[in-house]
Amino acid sequence: MKFHSCFSFCSSFPNSRPAISTISTGEQKHGNLQIFSSRELEIATHDFSSSNKVGEGAFGSVYMGQLKNGSIVAVKVLSVELESMRGEREFISELAALSDIRHENLVKLQGCCVDGANRYLVYDYMENNSLTQTLLGKEQNRMKFSWEARRNISFGVARGLAYIHEEVKPHILHRDIKASNILLDKDFTPKVADFGLSRILRDNTSHVSTRVAGTLGYLAPEYALSGHLTRKSDVYSFGVLLLEIISGRSAVDFDLELGEHFLVQKAWEAYNENKLLQIIDPILIMNFLEEEEEEDALRFLIVGLLCVQEIAKLRPQMSTCVKMMVNEIDIKDIQICQPGCVSNLMGVKLHHSQTCESSSSSRDATYTMSTRSSVYFK
């Protein structure tokens, strides 16, 4: 297993974290990471059997496996396309972001492996899949999510993002916050996952200039138009996610008569008409919400609307969102400005060499980056 070249490349990769350095072939540990052999992972996943497959995305497939110590893991297999280095960049980004940080609300990267053109990432397995597959699924699934569960999930995601935005140095921009990238463990504790598109924000810099990548419905308008990625871009995506969690609706829905319509716009219209209560998931109202909890749900919706304001500088930082959600900051008198919304791909910043790609996720898109409306510009 030739691993030294991988870590040498990682240390020189733009925006990567400097903690990763060259290691020698045959070592089993590197810092917090376990170095696996491809044979170990083949055994764990029954030779990457289709029956063990739990997800598939734009950059590879994900398999459930059991290691020789008995622990259950998720193994992401990334195949490198030599011309574009697609797969390699996502592999390096995941390593750079997660190799030396730990947080209750971030998915844990256990280790990795390089074998020829294949790159393997090994994570803790998340028993309850992603928010896309559970909360935003059928009505019977939404019944499992009481107000307490949705509040804890929302709060946990906010804490995870506040950690990578403000506590970790250099700061990390996730770049693809969405429901399918929020995983739930056996206790429904949320884990922010899939850092394959993440970027590092160095000290004394306000933004990272990069290709536009993300998912329609979650893209911050200023990022889509300029290619300038900031922490406020992630804040926008979190705001959309927060609206989804409270409403039980997807960021983008399709109706035969109305065509595509966007949750951000619906929430804004309801807010202006003083009918924000109508955005709360009816299942919550019918089965779970007491009067005090209803006020909490409305407050979370308002925080969501504050996060998706069109003017990026008006959006709160993630640490401020956390304080707003626990009512440490009174938001009753805060004025909310009109949200921004990228309703189509016209006007999204492209460079001459860039092309648009889209992909579909499988029925269990755990640990994947792509959904039906994902768009990547390279």
Helix axes 291-307, 147-162, angle to 10 degrees: 30
CB 153 within 8 A of CB 131: yes
Distance CA 224, CA 239 (A): 16
Residues noted as catalytic: 176
CB 197 within 8 A of CB 93: yes
Distance CA 303, CA 322 (A): 9
Alpha-carbon Rg of the chain, whole angstroms? 20
CB 184 within 8 A of CB 154: no
Q: Of 28, 297, 332, whose CA–CA distance to 147 is shortest?
A: 297
CB within 8 Å of 86: residues ≥ 6 apart: 59, 80, 378
Q: Of 292, 293, 295, 318, whose CA–CA distance to 306 is shortest?
A: 318
Distance CA 44, CA 37 (A): 11
